[in-house]
């Protein structure tokens, strides 16, 4: 994380599992900081004019990951500092992890217990990776990915049993001058 007090105005990148609250926290954080918010899933949908589910179904996960990486790269290169929400699988790609490490963005992991994710994602039909047995998929993916989230994160925020405003307060407190503008 960029640290010095003069080093202000970096992108804030939110990573974490599906259901960890990246979209709602990202929107609230952007409002708080007076910034724009971007979201890699939304960027993929704009670029392809298809839903995430349709991109998975018609082009496969590998192509989705390629597009996601390209669009994250573009978002990180935007001059005006913003808030960037990443799809939960961004960290599965070594190239994306390297990109985040090389950037001067502040990366925040919204960490949730699997039980929290399971409860929040109940009935959410828009995640192709959760087709079949969503609870098993969430537990497996959360376990596999935890080391990657930890690797890219400058700051880890536990989100279980907490509201959006409280989470935003913690992010603002802990990222401090690097994002204050
Ligand atoms: C995915 C997470 C989704 C979306 C796609 C794959 C994943 O984004 O990118 O369904 O691999 O975890 P959210 O984390 O915003 O739900």
pLDDT of residue 8: 53
Assess contact for 155 and 107: CB atoms under 8 A: yes
pLDDT of residue 143: 97
pLDDT of residue 54: 96
Rounding to the nearest 10 degrees, give the CA dihedral for residues 77, 83, 87, 93.
40
- Of 52, 53, 89, the residue with max ligand 1 atoms within 8 A of its CB, to mutate for a pocket test, comes to 89
Please give the number of the atom of ligand 1 that sits closest to the Cα of 126: 10
Ligand 1 lined by 128 (C-beta under 6 Å): yes
Assess contact for 179 and 9: CB atoms under 8 A: yes
CA of 138 to the centre of ligand 1 (A): 11
Nearest CA-CA partner of 12 in 94, 97, 80 = 80
CA of 171 to the centre of ligand 1 (A): 22
CA separation (Å) from 171 to 46, 53, 91, 103? 28, 30, 20, 19
Residue with CA at minimum distance from ligand 1 atom 3: 87
CA of 168 to the centre of ligand 1 (A): 21
Assess contact for 41 and 87: CB atoms under 8 A: yes
Q: What is the pLDDT along the chain (181 residues), one digit of tens a residue?
A: 555 433 457 999 999 999 999 999 999 999 999 999 999 999 999 999 999 999 999 999 999 999 999 999 999 999 899 999 999 999 999 999 999 999 999 999 999 999 999 999 988 778 889 888 899 999 999 999 999 999 999 999 999 999 999 999 999 999 876 676 5
Ligand 1 lined by 69 (C-beta under 6 Å): no
């Amino acid at each position: 994380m960029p640290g010095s007090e003069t080093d202000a105005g970096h992108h804030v990148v939110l990573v974490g599992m599906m259901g960890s609250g990246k979209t709602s926290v990202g929107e609230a954080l952007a409002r708080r900081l007076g910034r724009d918010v971007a979201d890699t899933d939304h960027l993929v949908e704009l670029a392809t004019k298809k839903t995430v589910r349709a991109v998975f179904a018609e082009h496969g996960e590998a192509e989705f990951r390629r597009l996601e990486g390209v669009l994250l790269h573009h978002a990180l290169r935007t001059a005006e500092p913003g808030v960037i929400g990443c799809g939960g699988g961004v960290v599965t790609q070594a190239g994306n992890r390297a990109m985040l490490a090389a950037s001067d963005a502040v990366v925040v992991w919204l960490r949730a217990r699997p039980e929290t994710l399971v409860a929040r994602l109940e009935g959410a039909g828009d995640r192709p990776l959760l087709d079949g047995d969503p609870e098993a998929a969430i537990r497996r993916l959360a376990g596999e990915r935890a080391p990657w989230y930890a690797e890219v994160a400058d700051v880890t925020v536990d989100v279980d049993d907490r509201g959006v405003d409280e989470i935003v307060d913690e992010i603002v407190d802990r990222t401090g001058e690097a994002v204050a503008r």
